[in-house]
Amino acid sequence: MALLEVRDLDVRFALRQGEVRALRNINFTLDRGERLGLVGESGAGKSVAAFSLLNLIAKPGYIAGGSIRFDGQELIGLGERRLRRIRGNRVSMIFQDPMMTLNPVLTIGEQMVECLKAHRRIASREARAIALHKLQQVQIPSPETRLDQYPHELSGGMRQRVIIAIALLLDPDIIIADEPTTALDVTIQAEIMTLLLELCEKHNVGLILITHDLGVVSQVTQRMLVMYAGRVIEAGPTREIINDPQHPYTQGLMNALPQMATPGSHLNQIRGSMPPLSQLPSGCAFHPRCDFVTRADGSERPACSRQVPDFVASGNCRVACHMVAEMLAQEAATEEDRP
């Protein structure tokens, strides 16, 4: 059985102008020590997905349905006390901006000791020793002095190391990393990502990496989900999706990478922008931006604007696209005709 199993997760925000569905029918699993990427544009629902895993969506958001099973235990509907025992202890989280996630008025050591004491009955001195050990693991120079320093005394890269150390503090089973390197210098990004990858491999920690950086996803994760407007549109082994993206949106994302454009020409882009969740188009949410709404012979594919596509299996991946479904059906038909 998988360590984390998310079934039909449905998250809504009750806003004044009506209910907005931020996440619909999210399904995925994560095994112990597995690394999963969550990819999509800003506003696709990646961070909401991360927060809902810990049942920490801020009002007016709420989980409307589905199931999140962690280590055999259902998290939805679980009491606050028992959830607290999981947060930070068995599932921890790394945020985007290391400048903001550390409390400016407490020293690094105080914050680490506090986290330890919230979950274990432990003496301060012992907690400090563990904190020091974790700081050494994240390769911070002179870790002893860091314990008594305030966050503003550290550089961005060092702070993110501290945050990783805090995430590892209680030897969690899963780390959720929400764009852990976006706010850092490009030179530091690779360092931090390598460190995170190494530590996850070494301690057999599962990683859910939320990012819009396809390069990072391809290097770090084993499987990935592509999200668009609150839905997963393509899921499968990272290598397969990167090498041969099926969904037109994923193809567009790949084409938009700067290295895909010929030097000197304009960068490729997906035309239009993601619709606001309150005004989703009918049918496939991507169809107004999709080049494959019309078939190769020029005829319209009416299902695109009428019906939400179901997942079809393509290789080891699952794709939600009418065009892909149609092509697969044709292939199957021709194969049946052959004998």
Partner 1 sequence: MSTPSSSPAATPAGGRWQRLRDSYLWYSFKRDRGAQLCLATLLALVGMALLAPWLAPTDPYDLAQIDILASELPPFWIDGSDPAYTLGTDAQGRDLWSIILYGTRVSLLIGFGAVLLQALLGVVFGLLAGYLGGRVDALLMRLADIQLSFSTLMVAIVVGAVVKATLGGGFYSDYAILMLILIIGLAEWPQYARTVRASVLAEKRKEYVDAAKVMGLKSRRIMFRHVLPNTLSPIFVISTVQIANAIISEAALSFLGLGMPETHPSLGSLIKAGFDYLQSGAWWITLIPGAFLVVLVLSINLLGDWLRDVMNPRLYKG
| Closest CB to partner 1 among residues 118, 313 | 118
- Nearer to partner 1 (CB atom), residue 69 or residue 87: 87
- Identity of the residue, 143 or 236, whose beta carbon is nearer to partner 1 in the bound complex: 143
Any contact of residue 119 with partner 1 (CB under 8 A)?
A: yes
For partner 1, which is the closer residue by CB, 175 or 319?
Answer: 175
Q: Which of 32, 120, 152, 306 binds partner 1 (CB under 8 A)?
A: 152
Task: Check residue 140 for interaction with partner 1 (CB under 8 A).
Answer: no
Nearest CA among 24, 7, 1 for reference residue 227: 24
Among 31, 41, 156, 219, binds partner 1 (CB under 8 A): 156
| Cα gap 163→161, rounded to integer Å | 5
Residues 163-222 that bind partner 1 (CB under 8 A): 163, 166, 183-185, 188
Query: For residues 114 and 227, what is the distance between their CA atoms, to the nearest angstrom?
Result: 36
Q: For residue 337, what are the contacts with CB-CB under 8 A and spacing of at least 6?
A: none
| Sheet arrangement for strand 18-30 | 18-30, 4-15, 61-70, 73-74
Rounded to whole angstroms, the Cα distance separating 86 from 160 reads 22
Among 106, 242, 256, 327, binds partner 1 (CB under 8 A): 106
CA distance 143 to 72: 37
* Phi, psi angle pair for 211, to nearest 5°: -165, 165
The single residue among 101, 137, 211, 221 that binds partner 1, judged by CB under 8 A, is 101
CB of 8 to partner 1, least distance (A): 24
Q: Is 158 in the site for partner 1 (CB under 8 A)?
A: yes
Report the 10 Å Cβ neighbour count for 171: 13
CB 327 within 8 A of CB 313: no
- Where on the chain is the footprint of partner 1 (CB under 8 A)? 54, 56, 84-89, 92-93, 95-97, 100-106, 114-115, 118-119, 141-142, 145, 148-149, 152-158, 163, 166, 183-185, 188
